[in-house]
Amino acid sequence: MADRNFCDGTLIEYFQRYEAFFIIRQHGSCPSWREIPGEKQVAKGTDEQGQAVYEQRIEVQLVDGSWISVRRITVVLSDATRDGDSQLNLLTNLPARVGAGKISSAYRARWTIENCFGHLSRALNAEIRTLCYPGAAGLCFSLALLLFNMMSLVRWLLLKHGQYSDRYEIEDVSYYYIADEISRSQFAFDEVIDQKQWRIFGKMSSSAFASFLKQTASHAHLARYRKHIRGPTKPRPKRRFNGTRHVATQKLLDARE
């Protein structure tokens, strides 16, 4: 799955050569495409978000000048994107048994993957610049993915069983503040709790461990982990020169010459 910046004939040809499936948002100008005679746009119902979905088979041009047939999925968005787009056009070579609605929902889930990578780089510091060796960087990234799954569970437990003064949504609990508390409390745990006291969790059943997590989460106050959303950016005030007109230094030098 890829955004429209990766929609070109070279990449599509690469996918075709290695018999790989793809879902790519269609770019406005690349690659060149044309309609197939007799192939009209057909309504395919709605996706999981209730958005209308249409499908049409078209041809796109590869870098060698040849044309291949792909499915073009058009999704009419319930809310326009921040760029003002009211619909998405997706190109895919998935077989017909994969419905257009499922393709639309899968592409929408792509943002959850990118958000995950954003949390990994910002809250979990998964991109350590000093790790020059690919193996070390891969290990660090894998550990960060594992920690991200654990923190997602913690977030769900906090929202489900934590204490809050008003209703919280899943987006209101910050990964950053959870990671910050884990990093600050780790040294205290190591000093106060002996290693032998952790062995009980190794012998605990899954249901007992789940009950322990729920009970622990019930004592947490969600206000400590709430996001601080930045307000709208104020427009930059216009510069004033006390009635005098600003003159570039380069213009003065050119006039002196």
Tokens of 126: 């998964």
Examine the pLDDT at 168 and tell me if it is beyond 90. Answer: no
Q: How far lies 48's CA from each of 22, 72, 101, 217, 222, in Å? A: 20, 18, 7, 31, 30
Task: Note the pLDDT tens digit of each residue in 25-49.
Answer: 888 778 889 999 989 999 998 888 8
The kind and range of the H/E element at 112 are helix 110-122
Q: How far lies 17's CA from each of 116, 161, 196, in Å? A: 30, 50, 56
Examine the pLDDT at 4 and tell me if it is beyond 70. Answer: yes
Tokens of 33: 């495409």
Helix axes 110-122, 134-161, angle to 10 degrees: 110
**Is the whole model's pTM more than 0.95, yes or no?**
no
Q: How far lies 3's CA from each of 24, 36, 52, 215, in Å? A: 6, 24, 20, 42
CB 12 within 8 A of CB 64: no
Q: Across residues 127-140, what is the average pLDDT? A: 72
For residue 245, name the pLDDT band (cuts at 50, 70, 90): low
pLDDT at position 130: 67
d(C-alpha 75, C-alpha 88), whole Å: 5
Q: Across residues 93-118, what is the average pLDDT? A: 83
CB 93 within 8 A of CB 22: yes
Burial profile 223-233: b = 16 or more Cβ within 10 angstroms, e = fewer: eebeeeeeeee
* Domain limits, the chain: 4-98, 116-196+211-225
pLDDT at position 129: 66
Choose among 90, 146, 161, 140: nearest CA to 116: 146
Mean pLDDT for the chain? Answer: 82
